[in-house]
Structure formats: C-alpha cells, structure tokens
Amino acid sequence: MALLNLTQTAQSTTWAQERHRVLRNTYMLLALSMVPTVLGALLGVQMRFSLLAGSPVMSFVLFLAIAWGFMWGIERNKNSGLGVGLLLGFTFFMGLMLSRILQVALGFSNGGSLIAMAGAGTGAIFFTLAGIASTSKRDFSGMTKFLFVGVIVVLLAALANAFLQIPALSLTIAAVAVLLFSAYILYDVSRVVNGGETNYISATLAIYLDVYNVFVSLLQLLMAFTGERD
C-alpha cells in the first residue's frame, strides 16, 4: 500500500510539473507573439494597409480564409518548430489586420488614449481571468458548447453586418465579443491548468485569439462611446 501511495504521489507530481511546463511555455510564447503583432500593426499603420477596402464582404471572407489557413497549418505542425514559425507569421498577419482599426482610432483627437485604454483593459481582463483559472479548482469544461455556439453567432452576425453596415449591430457584436472571448480566456487557460490541453503551441494560439478579440472589441466600444473628433 505504501509503495502504491508513493507511485501515485510521484505520478501526480509529474503531471503537475508537466501542466506547469505547458502553461509556462504558453505564456512565454504568448508574450513573444505580441512582438510580430506590434510590428505588423506599426507597418500597417505606416502603409495605411487595408485588405480589399472597397469590398467589406470580400475583405471579411478573404481574412477568414487566410486566418483559417494559418490556423490549419499551425495545428498540423504543432509538434515542431515550424508550428512556432507559422504562429509568429500568423500574429504578424493579425497585426496587419489590426492596423485598420488603429488607423480609425488615431483619427480621433484622443486616439492614443483610446488605444492605451483598450490595451490596459485587455491586460486587466486577461490577468484577472488567467489568475482565476490558475487558482480555481473548478472545471470550466462545461462551457464548451455555450462558447462554441457564441462564436458561431458572432461570426454570422459579423458576416451579415459586412453586408448591412448597421452601427448599432456592430456595437452589439463588439459588446458580446468582449464577454464571449473573456469567457474563452478563462476556459482556455483552465484547459492548460487541468491538463485538457498539453500542447503549448495550440494553447498559445487559442489564448492569443481570445486576447486579440477582446482588445479589438474593447477598442470599438471605446471609440463609439468616448472617441473625440477634432
């Protein structure tokens, strides 16, 4: 019995160490992924980058095709260094895409403050929810279906609004997205902590998308409600 207890204790310790390693690597790669995102955003702002600006619908569809292509490649190569390279390439692309909303924000007299507030708000949400997920003993896996349905609804609404261009609908989507992807941060970090996700590249991709969407949605809301025109 004593030997069995020692074996179980050793296994528990090994599993805990493995989960800690995955979480540590995830946070390190997440921090690294912000570098190409910032570079892509700065380059996009300087170039006034816009993906098919004349056609919002085609732009949205093309963006999804490129993004899903990157994500497919990352998942296919998540056990190799190529997966890291593709992830960093993806975050650079997402930075370029981010530059469009940054250009709009910088058109406000308080644009710099709006971007800083969105960044600070995103950071506060991430660190709070990641802390809860890391310390709570609760299993958040029951949120899976709810979150999946939420993403589908937001994507369909965003696609519809690419045709309709209704400001009120855009703000509603942004508000829902802040709540939805904040919940995803809690869910995705919890999966790593509880051993549901054992690959740090996949974990980084998921959490990066959560953080990115929270930031963009917060910035949209801040521009709508506190943006100041010259």
Digit-coded pLDDT (tens) for 4-36: 454 555 455 676 778 889 999 999 999 999 999
Which of 123, 126, 146, 121 lies closest to 218, judged by CA?
Answer: 121
Which pLDDT value is given to residue 221?
95
Range of the domain at 37: 21-226
Q: Report if residue 141 sits inside a domain.
A: yes
Distance of CA 42 to the CA centre of its chain: 19
**pTM for this prediction:** 0.90
Q: Report if residue 127 sits inside a domain.
A: yes
Count the Cβ atoms, other than its own, within 10 Å of residue 100: 19
The number of folded domains in the chain is 1
Count the Cβ atoms, other than its own, within 10 Å of residue 224: 14
CA distance 22 to 25: 5
Q: Report if residue 7 sits inside a domain.
A: no
Residue range 152-197, pLDDT digits in tens: 999 899 888 878 788 899 999 999 999 999 999 999 999 998 888 8
CA distance 206 to 44: 24
Q: Report if residue 143 sits inside a domain.
A: yes
Q: Report if residue 137 sits inside a domain.
A: yes
CA distance 186 to 33: 19
Q: Report if residue 114 sits inside a domain.
A: yes
Q: State the DSSP H helix or E strand holding residue 179, giving kind and residue range, or none if neither.
A: helix 167-193
Q: Report if residue 6 sits inside a domain.
A: no
Which pLDDT value is given to residue 7?
56
Residue range 132-153, pLDDT digits in tens: 998 887 878 788 888 999 999 9
Which of 42, 170, 24, 45 lies closest to 103, judged by CA?
Answer: 45
Which pLDDT value is given to residue 230?
66
Residue 93 has pLDDT above 90, yes or no: yes
Which pLDDT value is given to residue 135?
86
- Which stretches of the chain are assigned E, i.e. beta strand? none
Q: Report if residue 13 sits inside a domain.
A: no
